[in-house]
Amino acid sequence: MSSIVTANNGKDIMPGANAPENREYNMFIGPNHPGIEGNFALKLTVEGDTILKAKTEAGFLHRGFEKLMEERLFIQNIAIVCRICVPDPDPNEENYARAIESIAGIEVPRRAQFIRVLVLELSRIASHLFTFGGHAGTIGLYTMPNWSISDRDRVLDLFEELTGGRVYHIFNMPGGVRRDLPEGFKDRVRKVMDYIEERLAEYDDLFFNNKILLNRAIGIGVLPQDKALEWGATGPDLRAAGFAHDVRKDDPYEVYNELDFEIPTERDSDAYSRLMVRRREIVQSINIVRQVLERMPEGSVWNKQPNPLKWRVPAGDAYVRTESSKGEYAYYMVSDGGVRPYRVHVRGASVTHGVHILEHLLTGARIEDASQIMFSLDACPPEVDR
């Protein structure tokens, strides 16, 4: 860029107009940003259309869950843990229940384990469908959210029948699950799975093969594999970089090691790869759900636990990990033998890619791509804020 110069003696009419500090300006995206899964702000330093520096700002959704859990009984916390990640609540319940089971040595009936896997996978499908809608929204394709989010409602209807709640299920209890499957539920699940499988083909036509998406998402927000490992990416974002790590395979919990499924990976690690990993995961999840329905044994679904108001968990600690739809989701729980947890640390799946990786990927990107990069990482701000 040449500086602004007059004919008069070659003097600047606007001295310093082209100094870096005057060419840059600050731009804020958020916190009222349409389409993110929660409030989250980006402070961008921009020159022209290019982002020079990005800083995330979180905390708009902070409720102090870790503190609240310390002030409540073990049984009460079951109702609040699911609120930590809104679009994909079940890994929280799973983690919380499994942490207690691991400390106290509680057995879980096999049927309950299968039902947990069923719920987790349905939740993953619902969460990914939600993400597709959001990602399509960032490129302005508003037909896709209308389709995928109302298809997600079919999964939510299943949840409502099984657990009584559409979004929050409060279903996993230490020692099993709260209710057995209702009459004829398996058939209805199969029907919904068939429906979603059919719809995926329509999504391909509308969205995944859409010329505009290919134009905008390929080559955007590239996170090379070595950087992904160094910066601590997990879950689909790591698999999109071609690194096949999945907690369900590598640190198996419940009955995942008995089930037959693949870990989809991609090579290019751009926004499109991350989207496609999620699209393929839906196919795998449908496959897992079908296997679970087929192999589910009969039996009880809950090993009865003592009086919940006086329920003590022996002293000890446990670190449990779950593969959520966003990545590695972990709880570190410490009990001192009382009626309340002594400490629960929630390691949200988005704490790495929602904060530092996002900041790195946004640097040098264009404003138009900022929200798409953010969405392709599928960061969930409530997990960061807790």
Per DSSP, the three-state class of 50 is strand
Beta strands in 37-107 (DSSP E): 41-47, 50-57
Position 86 contacts other proteins (CB under 8 A):
yes
Site string for other proteins, 347-366 (x = CB under 8 A): x---xx--xx---------x
Out of 139, 181, 282, 288, the only residue in the binding site for other proteins (CB under 8 A) is: 139
Copy the structure tokens of residue 329. Answer: 């989701």
Out of 10, 16, 20, 34, the only residue in the binding site for other proteins (CB under 8 A) is: 34
Out of 12, 107, 153, 194, the only residue in the binding site for other proteins (CB under 8 A) is: 153
Position 229 contacts other proteins (CB under 8 A):
yes
Out of 50, 52, 80, 255, the only residue in the binding site for other proteins (CB under 8 A) is: 80
Spatial separation of the C-alpha atoms in residues 188 and 199, rounded to whole Å: 16
Cβ proximity to other proteins: between 6 and 150 the closer is 150
Touching other proteins, residues 272-331 (CB under 8 A)? 272, 276, 280, 309-310, 317, 319, 321, 328, 330
Q: Are 147 and 206 in contact (CB under 8 A)?
A: yes
Q: Are 187 and 156 in contact (CB under 8 A)?
A: no
Say how many C-beta atoms besides its own lie within 10 A of residue 248's C-beta.
Answer: 22
Position 79 contacts other proteins (CB under 8 A):
yes
- Of 90-98, 106-114, 147-155, 285-293, the segment contacting other proteins by CB under 8 A is 147-155
Position 67 contacts other proteins (CB under 8 A):
yes
Touching other proteins, residues 237-276 (CB under 8 A)? 239, 242-245, 250-251, 263-267, 272, 276
Out of 90, 121, 145, 237, the only residue in the binding site for other proteins (CB under 8 A) is: 145
**Count of residues near other proteins by CB under 8 A:** 117
Q: Are 373 and 365 in contact (CB under 8 A)?
A: yes
**In this structure, what DSSP letter does residue 308 have?**
G
Q: Least distance in Å: CB of 86 to other proteins?
A: 4
Give 1-44 as a DSSP string. Answer: -PPPB-SSTT-BSSTTTTSHHHHEEEEEE-SS-TTSSS--EEEE
For the chain, the straight-line distance linking the first and the last C-alpha, in angstroms and rounded, comes to 45
